[in-house]
Amino acid sequence: MAHEVEPSAQQNISITPLLRRLWPSPGENKVSAEEIALAIALIFTDQLSPVQTGALLTCLHFTGWDRRADVIAKCAEAMRAAASQIDRNALVKVVEARGRPEGDYKGGLCDIVGTGGDSHHTFNISTTSSILASSLLLLSKHGNRASTSKSGSADLLNSTRPTAPNLMAVTPQSICKIYEKSNYAFLFAPIFHPGMKYVAPIRKELGWRTIFNLLGPLANPVEGNIEARLLGVARRDIGPVFAEALQLSGARKAMVVCGEEDLDEISCAGRTYCWRLVDRSSHQSTPGDVDIESFTICAADFGLPAHALKDVSPGKEPHENAAILTKLLQNQLPRDDPIFHFVLMNTAALFVIAGVCEADTSDMGHGDDGKVIPERGPGGGRWKEGVRRARWAVESGEAWRQWTQFVEASNSFSTP
């Protein structure tokens, strides 16, 4: 059925007919994911009143429809469409010039991100891993300030010393220039998703998690140009839903993970549930050629010891976590440091998903002994080879080099 709206006396559009069908039985009333996405899109242009926005988010939450793969995929598409647009042709050119294909990795953009909300307050693993991964991959790290922890990705990076990056200067207009100087870019969500400001106070007042807590990881502004991603969720039941949403969105290289402690990254303590998108085609084809495989992995599969979460959960303020990040990037943490191992595992997983670990030879640069570890673990991944490469990123200084080049590049632009 077509999306039902009623013009009101104000500039707002009324979605009352849709709300009546959404509650209490959207299935019986044949509500479609497309209709929900159209209503969500009105939020980004400030055409939906705060009351109706709150009602929509509440209906989706309590019917469970905000945890359906088709709804998540369509709403994420609407969120990306409302984002500040990037010059795609220019981006493709700079990626082709900058990317370094290796193994099954084609040199494209990658992301590693979690939904947050796991309440464990672990160190900023995905953000740190994204910097390590930029030693071999092109990274488009999409992130924001903290919402459920003390130290969000943007809070962490803004606290780095001696010089912090100018995150506000990484814009749709400057992003290609950033990639001319570094493999790394941090895409600060408020810059690329200005329409989210209209829903922010409503989310805060509602007091429960809404569909927007799930859309962020799927709303990377360079979504159409992302080759591979690692995505963490804080609830096991959400894992297969996210994997299906990625599949519906056309993703071909991705893995969704959930630590058995309800951790939104690969756990260093216990098992991690994985849902990996596997591309069965050898050429350009339809999304139907992408299967979802599920399996579990643990620290031993990476050749590393397990560590209790309390040993990787400093719960510190951003400036304290930033000091740990800097020490790690400068190779000043002990080789057996629990946080270091935690970061190595998650970086290794992104390397595996991107495909660089499929290379049977290795010439990463200074300090690479070239000894590939061909052993395969759960899901057929070369997880230990991923760790070897992640260690090299730190020990060779390449991760630090890419980070400092990003810091310098971002500070060379004026803030909008």
Any idea what the CATH number is for the domain that residue 172 is in?
A: 3.40.1030.10
Residues 6+ apart with CB under 8 A from 156: 124, 127, 318, 321, 322, 325
- Do 44 and 146 lie in a common domain? no
Contacts of 65 (CB under 8 A, 6+ apart): 22, 26, 31, 36, 59, 71
**Could you tell me if 104 and 218 lie in one domain?**
yes
Number of domains into which the chain is organized: 2
Instruction: Enter the pTM of the model.
Output: 0.94
Task: Let me know whether 27 and 173 are in one domain.
Answer: no
| 245-267 average pLDDT score | 96
Statement to judge: residues 260 and 383 lie in one domain:
yes
87-108: b or e for each residue (b if 16 or more CB lie within 10 Å)? eeeebeebbeebbeebbbbebb
Residue 50 lies in a domain: yes
Average pLDDT over residues 287-299: 90
30 and 157 housed in the same domain: no
pLDDT at residue 261 above 80? yes
- The answer to whether residues 245 and 262 touch, using CB atoms and an 8 Å cutoff, is no
| Residue-number span of the structural domain to which 19 is assigned | 15-67
The reply to whether 251 and 308 lie within a common domain is yes
In a domain, 9, yes or no: no
Cα 306 versus chain centre, distance: 24
Shared domain for 247 and 302, answered yes or no, is yes
* DSSP code, position 367: T
> Does residue 1 fall inside a structural domain?
no
Q: Is residue 166 within 8 Å of 410, Cβ to Cβ? A: yes
Residues 225 and 318 in one domain: yes
Res 283 pLDDT > 60: no
Task: Kindly report, residue by residue over 306-350, the tens digit of the pLDDT.
Answer: 999 999 987 678 999 999 999 999 999 999 999 999 999 999 999
33 shares its domain with 182? no
CB atoms under 10 Å from CB of 279, counted, come to: 16
Looking at the fold, whether 212 and 312 belong to one and the same domain comes out as yes
Nearest to 348 by CA among 308, 375, 312: 375
Q: How many CB atoms lie within 10 A of CB 315?
A: 14
Q: How many CA atoms lie within 13 A of 45 on its CB side?
A: 13
Do 38 and 96 lie in one domain? The reply is no
Rounded mean pLDDT, 190-195: 96
367 Ramachandran zone, left/alpha/beta (phi>0; psi -120 to 50): left
